[in-house]
Amino acid sequence: MPSHEWGESVHAVVVLKPGAPEFTVEEIRHHCKDLIGGYKSPRSIEFKPSLPLSAFGKVVKDELRAPFWRDAIRKV
């Protein structure tokens, strides 16, 4: 996501497996901070039913980034 201070900030997109327990944003944020450095932890988190995939089965990150960078002058 765009950040005026750093250029970009970490944003997590979470897809829960069918039948998996529900998680809150705070539970995911706490889990991330336990495993990785605070500066690498997501500043924001959103839940989606699925991720956009290319024909090769890879996540299309440009599609995930597009809504946040649409109005930005510089696209990092």
Taking the domain 2-69, which CATH number applies?
3.30.300.30
> Do the Cβ atoms of 19 and 70 come closer than 8 Å?
no
The reported pLDDT for the residue numbered 76 is: 60
When comparing pLDDT for 60 and 38, which is higher?
60
Q: pTM higher than 0.75, yes or no?
A: yes
Q: pLDDT per residue over 14-49, tens digit each?
A: 999 998 888 999 999 999 999 998 888 999 999 999
CB-based contacts of 50, cutoff 8 Å, min separation 6: 15
Judge whether residue 12 has pLDDT over 70.
Answer: yes
Q: What percent of the chain has pLDDT over 90?
A: 57
**Domain boundaries in the chain?**
2-69
